[in-house]
Amino acid sequence: MKAGIGHYQVGEAFDHYLLIKNANKGVASNGRPFLSLMLKDRTGEIDAKLWEASAEDEELFHQGEIVKVSGEVGQFRGKPQLKIHSIRPAQSTDGIKAADFIEKAPLDKESMMDRITEAVFEMKNPNLQRITRHLVKKHQEELIHYPAAVRNHHNYISGLLHHIVSMLNLAKSVAELYPEVDKDLLYAGIILHDLGKTRELSNHTSPSYTVEGKLLGHISIMSEEIKAAAEELQIEGEEVTILQHMILSHHGRQEWGSPKPPLVREAELLHYIDMMDARMNMLNRALAKTNPGEFTEKMYSLEQRAFYKPAFSK
Amino acid sequence: MKAGIGHYQVGEAFDHYLLIKNANKGVASNGRPFLSLMLKDRTGEIDAKLWEASAEDEELFHQGEIVKVSGEVGQFRGKPQLKIHSIRPAQSTDGIKAADFIEKAPLDKESMMDRITEAVFEMKNPNLQRITRHLVKKHQEELIHYPAAVRNHHNYISGLLHHIVSMLNLAKSVAELYPEVDKDLLYAGIILHDLGKTRELSNHTSPSYTVEGKLLGHISIMSEEIKAAAEELQIEGEEVTILQHMILSHHGRQEWGSPKPPLVREAELLHYIDMMDARMNMLNRALAKTNPGEFTEKMYSLEQRAFYKPAFSK
Amino acid sequence: MKAGIGHYQVGEAFDHYLLIKNANKGVASNGRPFLSLMLKDRTGEIDAKLWEASAEDEELFHQGEIVKVSGEVGQFRGKPQLKIHSIRPAQSTDGIKAADFIEKAPLDKESMMDRITEAVFEMKNPNLQRITRHLVKKHQEELIHYPAAVRNHHNYISGLLHHIVSMLNLAKSVAELYPEVDKDLLYAGIILHDLGKTRELSNHTSPSYTVEGKLLGHISIMSEEIKAAAEELQIEGEEVTILQHMILSHHGRQEWGSPKPPLVREAELLHYIDMMDARMNMLNRALAKTNPGEFTEKMYSLEQRAFYKPAFSK
Amino acid sequence: MKAGIGHYQVGEAFDHYLLIKNANKGVASNGRPFLSLMLKDRTGEIDAKLWEASAEDEELFHQGEIVKVSGEVGQFRGKPQLKIHSIRPAQSTDGIKAADFIEKAPLDKESMMDRITEAVFEMKNPNLQRITRHLVKKHQEELIHYPAAVRNHHNYISGLLHHIVSMLNLAKSVAELYPEVDKDLLYAGIILHDLGKTRELSNHTSPSYTVEGKLLGHISIMSEEIKAAAEELQIEGEEVTILQHMILSHHGRQEWGSPKPPLVREAELLHYIDMMDARMNMLNRALAKTNPGEFTEKMYSLEQRAFYKPAFSK
Amino acid sequence: MKAGIGHYQVGEAFDHYLLIKNANKGVASNGRPFLSLMLKDRTGEIDAKLWEASAEDEELFHQGEIVKVSGEVGQFRGKPQLKIHSIRPAQSTDGIKAADFIEKAPLDKESMMDRITEAVFEMKNPNLQRITRHLVKKHQEELIHYPAAVRNHHNYISGLLHHIVSMLNLAKSVAELYPEVDKDLLYAGIILHDLGKTRELSNHTSPSYTVEGKLLGHISIMSEEIKAAAEELQIEGEEVTILQHMILSHHGRQEWGSPKPPLVREAELLHYIDMMDARMNMLNRALAKTNPGEFTEKMYSLEQRAFYKPAFSK
Amino acid sequence: MKAGIGHYQVGEAFDHYLLIKNANKGVASNGRPFLSLMLKDRTGEIDAKLWEASAEDEELFHQGEIVKVSGEVGQFRGKPQLKIHSIRPAQSTDGIKAADFIEKAPLDKESMMDRITEAVFEMKNPNLQRITRHLVKKHQEELIHYPAAVRNHHNYISGLLHHIVSMLNLAKSVAELYPEVDKDLLYAGIILHDLGKTRELSNHTSPSYTVEGKLLGHISIMSEEIKAAAEELQIEGEEVTILQHMILSHHGRQEWGSPKPPLVREAELLHYIDMMDARMNMLNRALAKTNPGEFTEKMYSLEQRAFYKPAFSK
C-alpha cells in the first residue's frame, strides 16, 4: 500500500480512505448534476468528480466525511484528478478517525510545549520573562493546536508550535555565534511574534481569517496584548516598548505589513530567523515530494520559483 | 516695515528682532571661530554667520534667545543668508515675547477645541462617542498645543487641532454628498487618527521624535489606546475593532506605514480627507509666498514638484 | 417579486424578463451546440447556458433581445449561473422596454444638466467661462447620455453627467474651506476633464474604445479641443494653457496616463476630487449589494481589496 | 596651444579666452567679497573664483562677457577649478566672437536642413508629407538653431537638427532591413517628434523651460499642432491620428511622460531610434574625453553608469 | 486552398494535413475518454478535441504524427478550435514531410551562414576574430538549426541564425553612422551573444530548457566558453574580458538577467540592436496576421500591448 | 590614553599616532594652499585640514605615512574634524608599524584557515571536495588577507576569511536543524561564494575594484573558475553545474546581481546565511560604538535605517 494520496502518480490505481475537504454541486455540459470533491489525507489532496450524482449522493458526500474510494489517478488541465470507480462513506466498523487525515507537525506537541517552557525558564530579564509567560499561558490552548498560517508554511495542526520551536533552536545557535545578541529579547520575540494568529485565524482544523484578523492583523493584535499584559503585571521599563517593536517589525518591511521596519538588532534577527524557517519548511516539504533530477511545481510564496532536486541527492 | 523675514528679497536691508532657532560653533578657513545661526520669526527662517565670534558671543547667542539684528540679505550656494552688520540680545525693555516668533495655527485654539467638542456631541453611536470623548479628554492638554507634524504640513503650534478641525469641516460636506457614509465613524476616525502624535513627538515648541515614536509610531500607539479605553469603559461591540482599523489604515497603504490598507468605506474616506487637507495646507502656505507668474521651490512632500501660481491669480 | 437579478441568491428560483447582453455559440463536450448567454437587468448580470441549442435558438436569442426566463440560480466555478428551465423572447404584448434593463444615473438628466449650466453661469473669469460653455455646447448631446467609463465607476447611462455634478458639489464645499482656491478654474476643470470620453468611447449604450480613444486618449483629445476652442473664440491669455494643464494632469501621475503631473493648485485638487468621487461611486454601489457583517468581492479598481460592511451599519 | 579648456589636466597652466557662463557674488569666510565664475569655451567649462573682487570687478565680469584669463588648473572637492592669476575683458581688437565659445553641432546647419527637405520630398503619402512640410516651415527658424535638450544629449546649437538628421539616417537603414515598415510614417514621426521643443524651451543660446513647456510639454504641444495643421490644410484620414499617436507615444512609456505607449509599429521603432541616437550622442561625447583604459564620470542619464573605454581602443 | 491553418477564420471548413504538436488524454464530463490535440503547420497552430477516443485512436494520434483532418474552425473560450469531422494518419503515399510543417527562417540557412563567415572575415582585431571563429565552429551544427528562443521571437528553425544575420546588417549601418564604434567588437558580440542557447535549449525541433539552461543560463554559459576558448587559443589581452562583458551585459539590466549592465559603448549598442531586432520580429509576424484597421492580440513580450495596423497600411 | 580615534568625542584633546589614508591639496578662500587629510587608526578615521601648507608639508604628509598629531576634535558640517595643533612624521625610533593602524579580523588568520581546511576535510562528496580544495589552494595567498568587501561588511584585513568561517559555523547549526540539507554542497558554496573577490578587488590594504571586477564581477569570475577547475581535475557530474549555480545565485535576486535566482535548496540557504552574517557584522560593529539609549547613524547598506540600542543593553 502506498503511503498516501500525495505519493500516487498519474495512471496508478487507488483504493483507500480519504477525507472530503469540500464538496460542490455542479451541472455538467450534458445538463446532469455532478459533485466536485476535494479529497485529502495527511500526505496531500486530489480533485475528483462524481458524475451523475443523485440527490442521495449529495447528502452522503459532504465536507468532513471520510470515504472509501477506488479509482484511478488521471489528469485534467495538467493537474492530477481522481477518476472515481466506486465511493462509499466510511463506516464505524472501518475503525477510521478523521484526525488521521489531517496533517500535523512532525514533532510531539507536549515536547514542543516543553521546549517553549524551557526557553521562558532560561530568560534572565524578569520583565521579558513575565510578559512572555503571561501571554503563553493566556493563549496556551490555541497555541498547542493552531497552524502557523492558512497556507504556505507550517499550515498544519500544531504548526505554530512547530515554527516557534524550530526558530528557538535556530536562535540558540545564532546567539552563540554572535555573543552581542540579547538572547532573552530574541526568545521573547520568537515566542510571541505569531501568537496573534490565535485571534487572526478562526480555528485550527479548517482555519480562515476572522474579521478582526482581516481588519487588524496578528501583528497589531499581539503588540496591543503585550502592552495590556505589562499594565496588568504592573511592568514598566523599556522592555515593553522594545518587545512591542519586535512584534510590529517582524515582517521586515512596511510593504510586507510591518508598520515599522526593524530598528533594534534582535528585531532584525527575528525577521531573518522567521523568514528562514518559514521558507525551509515550504522548500523541504515540496522537495520531499520531488524525485532527484526533477523540479518542484512553481511555488507561489517563493516568488514563483520551481526548485531543482539534484540528481545526486540522497 | 516688512511683515517678517520670510518676505525679504536678496539685497534688502534688515533691521529687526529674530529668534535663534539653533546656534553652532565652527572654525573658518582662516582658523578663526565663527557662529552659524539659524534665525527665525513667524514668517520664515534665514541662515546667518557671525564671523570672528568671541567666547562671549558664544554665550550670548544660543538657541531660544531673541536678538536684534541689522544686516543685509545675501545669498550663499543659492540660498538666502543674512549678512550681519550688528547683533545684540533683546532686552526686557524691548517688550518682545518668544511666542511671537513661533508660527501657530491661523485660528483661535479655544474655538477649534469647541468645534471638536461639537462634533463629539453630534455623534449618535454611544460606543464611538464615549471612546472618542475619553481619549480627547485624556490628551487634551497636548491636543491644544501640538503640531500635526515635525515638518511639511500643519507643523506649527496647534497644528494638530487645526488639521482635525479642517478635516471635520470637509467630512461634514462629504457626508452630505454621500448619505451612505457613517458620519459618526468618520468623525471619530478624524478626531483620533493623529492623536498618537502626542506621544510620538517630544513637545510642541521644538518637537522631535521620541524613542516610542520611532519604534512604535503614532498609528500603533493610538490603536492600542482605543482598545484600552474600550476595556476601561467596558465597551464591547464591533465599533472598537472598526475604529482601531480606521486608525491603523489611515496612511492608505502598507508602504506608507499602515499595517492594513483601508477595508471599510469610512477608513478609505478618512485617508482621502487626511491627504487632501495635509496637501492643501502645504500648497497654500507655499503659494502664499510665491508671486503670480512664478513657481514655488521644489516641495519634498509633494513628490519634488514645484507648483506654478498662474499670472492671473488674485 | 425580487427587485432584480442582482439581488438573487444561489438556490433561488427566477422567473422574469432579462436583456441579452451578449450571446456566443459553443460546442459542449458531448459534441452538441449550446448558447452561452450573458443576461442583465438594471441591477446586475448573470451568466447562463442554453444547452442543446437549435439553429432556431441561435437566431432567436441574440444580443439586445429581451427574454422571459424561468430557472434557478446555481453556481459555476464560484460564480452565479442561471440554470435555464425555459426561455422565450419577450413579445410586444409584454409591454417591456429595453431602456428599463440598462442601468442609469440615479438623478434626472435634465436637472443634472441644469447644475452644470448653473456652475458655468457662476464663473467670473470670462475666458474660462466662454471656453467651458463652448465645449459643453459642442458635446451636449453625448454629455447627456454617456457613461463616465466602460467599467468600474459611473459606468451607466448619464454616468459622465452624474460624475461631473457630484464633483461640482464636492468642489463647492472644498472651495469654501480653502478660500485661496480659484473656483472658476476648478469648476472649468471638473466640467471638461472627462469630456473627451465622448470621443474615446463609441456610444453610450454598449460603449467600447474607439481607435482614436486607444491611440490618443480622452486626455489629449480634450486638451487639444480647448486650444482649438480658444483660437476659434479668439481668446488669449494664460487661462488657456492652465486649463489645458488641468486636463493633461488630472490622472495625477505619469504612470497613470497624465503626461504632466499637477503643477497648479487647482489641478492637484481636481485630481483628488476626481479620485474621491470615482472611488466612492464604486464603493457605495458594491456595499449596497453587501449585507452588514460581510465583505464585498475583491474590487479590481480598488487594488483588489474586499471591503467590509460593519455589522452595526444601517 | 591646447584645443580648449575641456582638454586641460589638473596642474597645467592656462592662458586663453573664455566666455563667462554665469557670475555670482559671494562673501568669503574672511568677510571679503568674491566672484564665483563659470567659464566656458566650446570644449567644456570650469569653475573659478575671483577673490577680493572689487565693485568694478563685479561690473566688468558678468554673464556673456568674454575674458582673457591666465591661471592654473587646480582642484576643489574633486572637481577642477581654475586658479586665476590674471583676468581682463576681451577687447574688440582681440578679434574674438562669442559664437566661437558655444558648442554647436558638428555638421553644417544648411546641409542638415537639406537632409530634412530631402526626406520630406521622398514621402509618397501626401497627407503625411503636407503636414510635415507645413510644420517644418512654421518652425523653421527655431529648428535651425535649437538644441534638442537643455542638458544630456544634443544640448548644443543646432542639436535638434543634428538629432533629427542622425535619426533619419538610422531610419533609412532600418526601413531597408524591415521592408514592412511604413517609411513615410517613420520619417514624419522623426522630423516632428521633438519639434515641440521650440516652444518648450525659451531660446537656443541659454535655453530654459518656458511656463508652457513645464505645464504642457513638447509632446502635447506638437500633437495639438498636428491636429491644427491638418484642419488648416483640410486633411482628413487616419494619418492624422496615427501621426499624433507617434508623437504622444515616443517616450515609450507612461512613466517617461508619454500619455500612451506605442501601439503602432512605426511608433515603437521611433522610440527605439530616438533612444539609441540620444544615448549614442551622450556616450560618444563622454568617451571622446576619456583615455583608453579609463572610465567616464558617472552619467546621470545613463542610469548613473560610468563607461569604460577599452585599452585597445583606437 | 488556403495557405495554412494560421489563415483560417471561425466558421470556415478545413481539409488538409497537419502535424500533431502534442496529444493528451482526458475524460469528458460524460465520463468518456477524449484526445486533446494541438495541431500545427508552418503558419500557426490550433486546438482540437477528438471526442470518444478509442484506445486505438490514442495509439495512432501521438506527438510528431502528421494527420489529414477535415473539420470546421469553431471557437472555445474566445480561442479558435478545430471541430474534427474526420481524421486519419498521413500515409507514405501522401508524399508529406514533417519538415514542411515546422516554421523556419525566411532566409536560406547556407546564405545566412555565409553572412556570418563574411562578418568574421571582415574583422581586423585578430584576438576577437580567432575567438569568434573558434566558437562558431564549435557550435556550428546547432547554430545552423536552433531557434533563438522557445517562444516570442525567432522561435523557428534557424531562428538563431536569422536573428544574428539581421543584427549584423543593422550593426553595419549603425557603425557607419557612428564611426567611433568598434565594429569588430560589435560583430563579435552579436555573433556570440545568444550562442549559449545551443546548450540552454534541448534541441531545435521542439526545444525546452535543459537543467544546465535553467540553472546557469545562456549568458553565463557563453561567457565561460569565451574564457576557455581564449585559454585554448593562448590569447591574452583585454579583448577577452571585454567580450565576456558584452555577453554578460547584453540583457541590459540586472533585473532582466544580466549580472552586469553594459559598461562599454559596444555592449550598450549590442543591447539596443538585440532588443530592436527581437521586437521587430515579434511585431512584424503579429501584424502580418492582422487586417488593416484592426488590432493584434495582446502581446505578452511587448508589455501586453495590442498593436494597431493603420487602415492605410499596404 | 584612549583606545583609538574612533572613541574620541567632540571637544577632547588628541595626541597620538595616525596613518594618512589620503591627502589632497586645496586652496583656501584666502587664496592660500592647504592639505586635506584623512587620518585613521584601527578604530576609525577622521578628517583634518592642515592650513597654510608649505611645499615641504605636501611632500612630508602623503598617503601611507604615519604621523604624530596633537590637536582637538572639532566639528564641521555635522561631522567630526581634527583641529591640528602640531603634526610630524613618525620616526623609526618611535617603533610604530603601519600594520597596527589597519583594522583586521578579530580572529587569528591561521585558526580561521584551519577551520576552512577542516570543513573541506569533512566533505564526503569527492567531486565537491576536490573542486573546493583546488580553488582554496589556488587563491590561498589572497584568501588569507583579503577583506570581504570595500566597505560595509567585513571590510578589514582577513575579512573574507572571517566571513567564511562565521558562515560555516552558522551553516553547521542550520544543517543540524534541517537534516535534509546537503551539508557538503552548502559548505562548498560558502567557501567559494566570494572567492572571486580576490580578482574583483585590487589588493587587501587599500582595495578598489579592478577593471575585471567592474566588467565581470566576482560572481561570474568564480563560476567560470569552478568550470575550469572541474575540467582540469577531470571531474564530470551534476555537482559542477550545481556548484556553479550556487555561486551565480548567491545574491538572491537578479536585481541584486545574480543572473539566476536560487533554484536549489542549498543555494537558497547560502543566500540567507550570507545575508545574515553580512548584516550582523555591520550591525554589531555599529552598535559597539553606540551608547545604550541611543541610535546609530543611518546605515546605507541597511536601507538607511538608524538602529536603536536599548537602554537596558549590557
Between D249 and D25, whose confidence is greater? D249
Q: Which of A141-150, A192-201, C176-185, F98-107 has the lowest mean pLDDT?
A: F98-107
One-letter amino acid of B80: P
> Which three three-digit cell numbers place residue D226?
498636428
* Alpha carbons A257 and A160: distance in angstroms, whole number: 19
Burial C118-154 (b: 16+ CB within 10 A, else e): ebbeebebebbbbbbbbbbeebeebbbbbbbbeeebb
D-chain residue closest to F36, CA distance: D77
A-chain residue closest to B220, CA distance: A220
Say what the pLDDT of residue D31 is: 63
Q: What is the mean pLDDT of residues F166-187?
A: 97
Q: What is the mean pLDDT of residues F18-25?
A: 86
For chain F, percent of residues with pLDDT exceeding 70: 97
DSSP string spanning E233-244?
A: TT--SHHHHHHH
User: Is C215–E34 a contact, with Cβ atoms under 8 angstroms apart?
Assistant: no
Contacts across the A-E interface (CB distance below 8 Å)? 26
User: Pick from F262, F265, F312: which is nearest to A237 by CB?
Assistant: F312
**D interface with C, Cβ–Cβ below 8 Å:** 211-212, 214-217, 219-220, 223-224, 227-228, 231, 238, 241-242, 244-245, 248, 254-260, 263-264
Say what the pLDDT of residue F1 is: 42
> C188: part of which helix (H) or strand (E)?
helix C183-192
> Which three three-digit cell numbers place residue E313?
497600411
Instruction: Give chain F's end-to-end CA distance (angstroms, integer).
Output: 24
When pLDDT is cut at 50, 70 and 90, the band that residue F28 belongs to is low
Q: Which of A2-16, C111-125, C285-299 has the lowest mean pLDDT?
A: A2-16
From chain B, the residues in CB contact with F83 under 8 A are 27
Q: What is the mean pLDDT of residues C304-314?
A: 94
* Alpha carbons B211 and D272: distance in angstroms, whole number: 52
Closest CA to F286 of F272, F274, F301: F301
User: Is A75–E211 a contact, with Cβ atoms under 8 angstroms apart?
Assistant: no
φ and ψ at residue F309, rounded to 5 degrees: -105, 110
Q: Which residues pair with F50 in a beta bridge?
A: F35
A216-234 tens-digit pLDDT: 999 999 999 999 999 999 9
From chain D, the residues in CB contact with C215 under 8 A are 241-242, 244-245, 248, 260, 263-264
When pLDDT is cut at 50, 70 and 90, the band that residue E77 belongs to is low
φ and ψ at residue E271, rounded to 5 degrees: -60, -45
Say what the pLDDT of residue D1 is: 42
3-state secondary structure of F13: strand
Pairing of strands E66-76, E79-89: antiparallel
* Alpha carbons B15 and F182: distance in angstroms, whole number: 78
Greatest C-alpha distance within chain E: 71
C75-124 tens-digit pLDDT: 776 678 888 889 999 888 888 887 788 889 999 999 999 999 999 999 99
Say what the pLDDT of residue E1 is: 42
F165 Cβ contact list (under 8 Å, min separation 6)? F107, F112, F115, F116
**A interface with B, Cβ–Cβ below 8 Å:** 211-212, 214-217, 219-220, 223-224, 227-228, 231, 238, 241-242, 244-245, 248, 254-260, 263-264
3-state DSSP of F282-297: HHHHHHHCCCCCCECC
Q: What is the mean pLDDT of residues A62-83?
A: 84
A-chain residue closest to B210, CA distance: A241
One-letter amino acid of F271: H
Say what the pLDDT of residue E95 is: 83
* 8 A C-beta contact, residue D279 and residue E252: no
φ and ψ at residue A213, rounded to 5 degrees: -60, -40
Burial zone of C11 (CB within 10 Å; 0-12 exposed, 13-18 middle, 19+ buried) = exposed
Angle F36-F42-F48 from CA coordinates, rounded to 5°: 15
Burial zone of A161 (CB within 10 Å; 0-12 exposed, 13-18 middle, 19+ buried) = buried
When pLDDT is cut at 50, 70 and 90, the band that residue C31 belongs to is low
Say what the pLDDT of residue B1 is: 42
When pLDDT is cut at 50, 70 and 90, the band that residue A1 belongs to is very low
pTM score of the predicted model: 0.91
Q: How far is CA D291 from CA B278, D312, E277, in A?
A: 52, 11, 32
Q: How far is CA E225 from CA B184, B230, E136, F189, in A?
A: 71, 70, 11, 22
pLDDT at F149 over 50: yes
- Mean pLDDT of the residues in chain B: 92
Helical residues (DSSP H) of F139-202, grouped into ranges: 140-145, 159-177, 183-192, 197-200
User: Pick from E224, E228, E254: which is nearest to F254 by CB?
Assistant: E254
pLDDT at A2 over 80: no
User: Is B30–D29 a contact, with Cβ atoms under 8 angstroms apart?
Assistant: yes
Say what the pLDDT of residue D60 is: 87
Say what the pLDDT of residue D49 is: 87
Q: What is the mean pLDDT of residues E57-81?
A: 84
For chain D, percent of residues with pLDDT exceeding 90: 66
Q: Which chains touch F (3 or more CB pairs under 8 A)?
A: A, B, D, E
Interface test with B, best of F75, F291, F305, F309 (most B CBs within 10 A): F75
E176-207 tens-digit pLDDT: 999 999 999 999 999 999 999 999 999 998 89
For chain B, percent of residues with pLDDT exceeding 90: 67
Say what the pLDDT of residue F78 is: 67
Between D313 and F250, whose confidence is greater? F250
3-state secondary structure of A42: coil
> D48: part of which helix (H) or strand (E)?
strand D44-50
ipTM over 0.90: no
When pLDDT is cut at 50, 70 and 90, the band that residue B287 belongs to is very high
From chain B, the residues in CB contact with C169 under 8 A are 177
φ and ψ at residue B79, rounded to 5 degrees: -115, 145
One-letter amino acid of B229: A
Q: Which residues pair with A209 in a beta bridge?
A: A201
Between D177 and A91, whose confidence is greater? D177
Q: How far is CA A92 from CA A37, A98, A102, B29, E226, in A?
A: 22, 12, 18, 95, 71
Closest CA to C37 of C11, C59, C63, C12: C63
* 8 A C-beta contact, residue C188 and residue C128: yes
User: Pick from C220, C245, C263: which is nearest to D248 by CB?
Assistant: C220
Say what the pLDDT of residue D30 is: 63
> F20: part of which helix (H) or strand (E)?
strand F13-27
Q: What is the mean pLDDT of residues A78-95?
A: 86
For chain D, percent of residues with pLDDT exceeding 70: 97
| CB-based touch C/D (3+ pairs, under 8 A) | yes
- Mean pLDDT of the residues in chain D: 92
* Alpha carbons F166 and F112: distance in angstroms, whole number: 9
User: Is B308–D211 a contact, with Cβ atoms under 8 angstroms apart?
Assistant: yes
**B interface with C, Cβ–Cβ below 8 Å:** 125, 166, 169-170, 173-174, 177-178, 180, 182, 185, 237-239, 242, 261-265, 268-269, 272, 275-276, 279-280, 283-284, 287-288, 295, 302-303, 305-314
Q: What is the mean pLDDT of residues B188-196?
A: 98
Q: What is the mean pLDDT of residues A109-117?
A: 96
**E interface with F, Cβ–Cβ below 8 Å:** 211-212, 214-217, 219-220, 223-224, 227-228, 231, 238, 241-242, 244-245, 248, 254-260, 263-264
Q: What is the mean pLDDT of residues A189-208?
A: 94
Q: Looking at the complex, report in whole angstroms how far the Cα of residue B238 sits from the nearest Cα belonging to chain A.
A: 9
pLDDT at E138 over 80: yes
User: Is A216–B260 a contact, with Cβ atoms under 8 angstroms apart?
Assistant: yes
Q: Looking at the complex, report in whole angstroms how far the Cα of residue C238 sits from the nearest Cα belonging to chain A.
A: 42
- Mean pLDDT of the residues in chain A: 92
Q: Which chains touch A (3 or more CB pairs under 8 A)?
A: B, C, E, F
* 8 A C-beta contact, residue F140 and residue F117: no
Say what the pLDDT of residue E28 is: 67
When pLDDT is cut at 50, 70 and 90, the band that residue B2 belongs to is low
Q: Which residues pair with D86 in a beta bridge?
A: D70
Q: Which chains touch E (3 or more CB pairs under 8 A)?
A: A, C, D, F
